[in-house]
Amino acid sequence: MEWMCSTCGVEQAITDEPPAACAICSDERQYVLPSGPGWTTSQALIDAGHSLSIGELEPGLWGLRAEPKVGIGQTALLAVGASGNLLFDVPPLVDPAGLQFIESAGGVAAIMASHPHMYGAQVAWSHALGGVPVYVARADAEWVQREDPVIVLWDEPFEVVPGVPVRQVGGHFRGQSIACWRGADGAGVLLAGDACSVRPDGNVTFLRSYPNIIPLSPVGIGRIVGGFGAFSYERLYDNFAGRLASEAARVVGFSAQRYVEWITGQHDDLI
């Protein structure tokens, strides 16, 4: 059975019986519900009326989100390129309409999750799309729950599809990864996962755990922002389709400085 954790939406190893626990949810960055671990399957979700909601975020970039919400509720990103499409962060279920849409958009040449919380049904999606490679940061390989030959481990920055460079920036997870898609206008669009999170004031924040509000250190912030700085980008999307529509690099720099100032006590006179 292709089991999936009901809490985080990450696929598990194929077994007759569900796992005793979800390793990802048992970690301090996630959580186990008071009712304990729960399990489902893509087919059970489809039978219950779940499907993928698909919307164009900007020309050539599509957001895919399971509705009603499944697991963490992330918005996967389909970045359309001239020489191959990238599915970045991964929906937790493979539904027929979503699969048909992706195939009509040219399929995908590669699948990559920004970090383990976003693995979703990455192997199932690969199989449905003809066995395309699923790129997993080697630093996070221990978190893969469903092993499969389609998984390709990587370390150094490279182009996951032609014209879309990726690199690991750490912080939330050691292998936390980002991608820079060119965008239809060529301005540069950073696909950031939750290396940062867009907030209501139009800035971003950085955390080791978002649900449990565990902060990062100045070293962690510096590594993330330094990794971002390897790319030229005007816009940014996080893993819930939170968007910085312009001057994204400047906003990230300001946000990082503000964060570090507060966690190092530079504004303790205000508390």
pLDDT at 249: 98
pLDDT at 244: 98
Domain ranges of the chain: 4-270
**Between 3.40.140.10, 3.30.300.30, 3.60.15.10, 3.30.70.360, what CATH number should domain 4-270 receive?**
3.60.15.10
Q: What's the pTM?
A: 0.97
Beta strands in the chain (DSSP E): 4-5, 39-40, 51-58, 61-67, 76-79, 86-88, 110-112, 134-137, 151-154, 158-161, 164-168, 177-181, 189-191, 197-198, 204-205, 235-237, 243-244
Q: Specify the residue for token string 């997993």.
A: 136
User: Contact at 8 Å (CB) between 121 and 216?
Assistant: no
Q: What angle do CA 178, 193, 157 make, to 5 degrees?
A: 10
Count helices and strands (H / E) in the chain.
6, 17
Per-residue exposure over 147-172, b if at least 16 CB sit within 10 Å of its own CB, e if not = ebebbeebeeeeebbeebbbbbbbbb
Q: What is the pLDDT of residue 175?
A: 98
Let me know the angle formed at the C-alpha of 72 by 139 and 145, rounded to the nearest 5 degrees: 40
DSSP string for 60-103: TEEEEEEES--TT---EEEE--TT--EEES--SS--HHHHHHHH
- pLDDT of 40 reads 97
Q: Is the dihedral of CA 73, 61, 241, 122 positive or negative?
A: positive
* 178 contacts 194 by C-beta, under 8 angstroms: no
The whole-number pLDDT of residue 196 equals 98
What's the confidence (pLDDT) of residue 250? 98
pLDDT value at position 131? 98
In angstroms, the CA 219 to CA 240 distance is 25
pLDDT value of residue 186: 97
| CA dist., res. 168 & res. 174, Å (int) | 8
Looking at residue 80, what is its pLDDT?
97
- Return the pLDDT at 17: 94
CB < 8 Å & 24+ apart, contacts of 142-147: 143/23, 143/24, 143/116, 143/119, 143/173, 144/116, 144/119, 145/10, 145/11, 145/12, 145/13, 145/19, 145/22, 145/23, 145/24, 145/119, 146/11, 146/12, 146/13, 146/14, 147/13
Query: For residue 21, how many other CB atoms are within 10 A of its CB?
Result: 12
Low-confidence residues in the chain, pLDDT < 50: none
